[in-house]
Structure formats: C-alpha cells, structure tokens
C-alpha cells in the first residue's frame, strides 16, 4: 500500500521547507495576536466599551478573519505560506490523502452520533437555509481560531521557545484565554463542568501537534470548523426549529 494513503494518520507527514521570517516580524506577529484576542476580543466585547452595538455572527466572524489575515500581511509582514496557508498545489500526497480520508471519516462519525438531531433538520426544509448559514459561520469560526492560536501564536512561540514549550504555552492560552474564558462563569455555578477545560486542552493539543507535524494550517482549520459545526452548530439549528 502506498505510504501516502496512511502515513498522515500516524502524523507522519513529508517535511516541506518553510520560509523563515525575522525576529522583528515575529514580534509584530505577536502584537497582531494580542490585538485580535486581548484588545478586540473574539466576541468584540471592546465595542461595548464605546457603546457600539456588537455585529451579529454572520458579520463579525468573517470580519475578524479578514482583519487577522490583513494584519498578518500588512503589520507583521509575514506571508500566508509562512504560517501554514499553502496553496493546494503545494500540498504533499500525504497531506491530501489525510485531509480527504479524515474529512470523510469525521463526517460519518459525527453524523452517526448526531443522527436524531440531523433527522430533525432534514425533516424541516425551513431549517435548511439556517443550517447553511450556521455551517458557513462555524467553519469560518473554527478556522479563525486555528489561524490565531496555531498559525500566529504557536508558530512564533515554537520559533522562540522550541517545539514542546511553544505548543504547550500556545495551547494553554487557547484553553484559558479570552476565547474560552467565559466557561469559568458556568463552572462557578456548577463545578462539575470543569471537565470542559480538559476537553478543550486535549482537542487543542491535537490540533497543535497536527499543525506542527504537517505544517498545514488548512487541515487543522477545516477540521476545527467541522467540529464546531457538529458540536455547536447542529444544536443551534435544531433549537431554532
């Protein structure tokens, strides 16, 4: 059997030469990360400080993603390929097969686990347009998270601190930082919900390792988005029915 068909599942990806960037560019990349997550915030809470209405998700998520990409190029001066956004033609055979096979497998598993809820959506045509808009937003939202925490933060911390420290520190910020900090409120009311941070850390650690081993942010970003759709999006659509 061709190694390309299965190697990715063992996180054995063919290494690709990555373009280096300067320490100054890396510092600017960290500044962009801080602006996006700690100043603007993933939910644009800063808007409330100035009495500005927070845009709805269908406007906010694409805007945040576009702004993050623009700042990466214009402020940090770093090319998209330097943070793992390689064009399809540059993907290795292992990356392509892993992406296609895993995408199919993940969808099958989630569809089996969520079959009752998916049947509800399928039986109500009026929910289909809502489903498509929620799917679009959830995939973009998952991709945005990977861009910020793996593409920006992890890439620079690995460059500065090494692989182990870079992945662990960036994933710790991902787990307990602005993105998921709101879960602390629920834990205050119900301490048994503390398990959610363990789950977030474990999932984030997998994506961090996957991104480091493959060097391909598209893979982690799309898988994160698909996961967000099934875990959060399906319930959101069903709740509107």
DSSP string for 64-130: HHHHHHHHHHHTS---GGGGT---GGG--HHHHHHHHHHHHHHHHHHHHHTHHHHHHHHT-GGGHHH
Q: Spell out the domain ranges in the chain.
A: 14-240
Query: In the predicted model, what is the mean pLDDT of residues 236-240?
Result: 88
Residue 143: band (very low, low, confident or very high) from pLDDT cuts 50, 70, 90: very high
The mean-pLDDT minimum among 11-15, 189-193, 217-221 falls in: 189-193
The total number of residues written for the chain in this structure = 241
Cα–Cα distance list, 200 to 3, 154, 197, 208 (Å): 31, 16, 5, 12
Asked if residue 145 lies in contact with residue 227, where contact means CB atoms within 8 angstroms, the answer is no
Average pLDDT, the chain: 90
**24-27: long-range contacts (C-beta < 8 A, 24 or more apart)?**
25/76, 25/77, 25/78, 26/156, 26/159, 26/160
How many CB atoms sit inside 10 A of residue 31's CB? 13
The DSSP secondary-structure symbol of 9 reads: G
Q: For 89-112, what is each residue's pLDDT tens digit? A: 999 999 999 999 999 999 999 999
State the pTM of this model. 0.92
Position 73 scores a pLDDT of: 96
The mean-pLDDT minimum among 12-16, 83-87, 165-169, 224-228 falls in: 12-16
Asked if residue 9 lies in contact with residue 100, where contact means CB atoms within 8 angstroms, the answer is no
61 sits in which H/E element:
helix 57-74
The DSSP secondary-structure symbol of 7 reads: G
pLDDT at 38 over 90: no
Asked if residue 224 lies in contact with residue 100, where contact means CB atoms within 8 angstroms, the answer is no
Q: How far apart are CA 174 and CA 171, in angstroms?
A: 5
Percent of the chain with pLDDT over 70: 90
Cα–Cα distance list, 206 to 105, 136, 149 (Å): 17, 23, 13
Dihedral of CA 202/203/205/206: which sign? positive
Dihedral of CA 184/189/194/195: which sign? negative
Q: How far apart are CA 96 and CA 116, in angstroms?
A: 32
How far apart are the two ends of the chain, measured CA to CA in Å?
Answer: 47
């Amino acid at each position: 059997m061709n190694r390309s068909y299965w190697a990715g599942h063992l996180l054995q990806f063919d290494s690709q030469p990555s373009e280096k960037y300067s320490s100054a560019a890396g510092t600017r990349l960290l500044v962009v990360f801080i602006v996006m997550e700690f100043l603007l915030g993933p939910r644009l809470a800063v808007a409330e400080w100035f009495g500005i209405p927070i845009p709805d998700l269908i406007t906010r998520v694409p805007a945040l993603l576009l702004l993050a990409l623009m700042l990466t190029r214009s402020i940090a001066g770093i090319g998209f390929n330097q943070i793992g956004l390689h064009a399809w033609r540059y993907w290795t055979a292992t990356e392509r097969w892993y992406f296609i096979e895993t995408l199919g497998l993940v969808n099958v598993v989630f569809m089996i686990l969520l079959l009752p809820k998916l049947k509800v959506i399928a039986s109500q045509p009026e929910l289909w347009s809502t489903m498509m808009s929620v799917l679009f937003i959830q995939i973009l939202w998952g991709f945005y998270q990977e861009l910020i925490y793996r593409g920006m933060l992890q890439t620079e911390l690995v460059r500065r601190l090494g692989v182990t420290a870079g992945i662990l520190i960036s994933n710790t910020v991902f787990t307990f930082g602005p993105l998921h900090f709101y879960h602390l409120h629920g834990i205050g009311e119900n301490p048994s919900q503390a398990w959610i941070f363990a789950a977030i850390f474990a999932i984030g650690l997998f994506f961090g390792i996957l991104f480091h081993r493959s060097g391909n942010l598209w893979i982690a970003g799309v898988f994160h988005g698909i996961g967000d759709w099934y875990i959060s999006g399906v319930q959101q659509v069903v709740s509107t029915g």
